Structure 1
Amino acid sequence: MASSGTSSFPGRWDVFLSFRGEDTRFNFTDHLYSALTSRGIHTFRDDEGLERGGEIQPSLLKAIEESKVSIVVFSKNYAHSQWCLDELYKIMESRREKGQIVVPVFYHVDPSDVRKQTGSFGKAFARYKKVTKERVLRWRAALTQAGGLSGWHVEHGYII
């Protein structure tokens, strides 16, 4: 999740991009970010360094809250990041409470794996034995909700 500046917000964001950096940063997400910004769409993506460490920073939470739309790029390792799952929970909360539009992109993953937490998403949850039950339940609910939304399925470089 690369740079667009996280310390100051010039106003409301048009789009917030959520993605697992190691999976899509230097390919799909960069192309998506470039396409959006070249059309004048004020798009937020967070800094690479933000994922290191503990909780989501207040500036990132504010960016989610101030966005009209969130695009969530679900990739093979998305659920392997507690950071991404916390971010998704906040996005789905903003959808519920503020009516934010959420558009999922299923990047080389089956939407049902996101919705049901199977495949690579199920493997990720098998690793979360030390995470509080409440937090895991929040993540699962957010994935189920987001996986049930209409979005794009990208497979072999094509939207299907």
Structure 2
Amino acid sequence: MASSSKPERTYHVFLSFRGEDVRNNFLGHLYGALDQKGIYTYVDSEELRKGEQIAPGLMKAIEESHITIIIFSDDYASSWWCLEEAAKIMDCKEERDLMVFPLFYKVDPREVRTPRERYRKAMVKHESKFGKDSEKVKRWEKALSDAGSLSGCHLTFG
């Protein structure tokens, strides 16, 4: 029996987002629209089971998705966890042909590609915590630059 090199795909879409920025408004509408169309979408609040470890569950869900939508919002870069997700997503894009679609929610795509203002401030904070030459921070910066350089959708409305 021949083994397949293709990864098992469980989810159609994985949504990466900063909860406090979009969870109670935009995200609900996006998730609802995808669900209504029969698109099986991973959202941490919907899919993580109580008592389940967050890190392995989220990383596995990214690996098991066909498409990822990264919702870049004002405070996305302030969360080291969001940056870990973005780095994993970009790794899977290279290694597993994961399709990545950036959605710039009230954030200029240039802010993500070459951090200025809020994203720069967030990265400086991470550098002070993890070290300016930290491999982790460099990996996050590369993930932001690479993801921010992809063709996506820029939403400026409320």
Q: Give the aligned partner of residue 71 of structure 1.
A: 69
Secondary structure at the counterpart of residue 79 of structure 1? helix
Aligned-residue identity in percent: 50
Q: Give the aligned partner of residue 83 of structure 1.
A: 81
Listed as ranges, the matches of 1:109-124 within 5 Å are 109-124=107-122
Listed as ranges, the matches of 1:25-36 within 5 Å are 25-36=23-34
Deviation at 1:47, TM superposition (A): 2.5
How well do the aligned residues superpose, as a CA RMSD in angstroms? 1.8
Contact 1:20/1:81 (<8 A) preserved: yes
Deviation at 1:56, TM superposition (A): 5.2
Q: Give the aligned partner of residue 156 of structure 1.
A: 157
Which protein has the bigger helix share? 2
Deviation at 1:27, TM superposition (A): 0.8
Listed as ranges, the matches of 1:36-51 within 5 Å are 36-47=34-45
Whole-angstrom distance in 2 between the partners of 1:111 and 1:72 = 12
Contact 1:74/1:106 (<8 A) preserved: yes
Whole-angstrom distance in 1 between the partners of 2:85 and 2:56 = 11
Deviations 1:52-97 (A, max 9, x none): xxx9521111100000000000000000000000010000000000
Q: Give the aligned partner of residue 141 of structure 2.
A: 140
Q: Give the aligned partner of residue 130 of structure 1.
A: 129
Secondary structure at the counterpart of residue 150 of structure 1? coil
- Letter in structure 2 aligned against 1:76: D
Whole-angstrom distance in 2 between the partners of 1:110 and 1:80 = 16
Secondary structure at the counterpart of residue 14 of structure 2? strand
Deviation at 1:118, TM superposition (A): 1.1
Whole-angstrom distance in 1 between the partners of 2:82 and 2:92 = 15
Deviation at 1:156, TM superposition (A): 1.9
Structure (1 or 2) with the larger CA radius of gyration: 2
Secondary structure at the counterpart of residue 17 of structure 1? strand
**11, 15, 21: which is aligned to 1:17?**
15
Listed as ranges, the matches of 1:101-116 within 5 Å are 101-116=99-114
- TM-score normalised by L of structure 2: 0.86
Gaps of 5+ in 2: 1-8
Deviations 1:26-58 (A, max 9, x none): 11111100000110000001029x8xxxx9521
- Letter in structure 1 aligned against 2:137: V
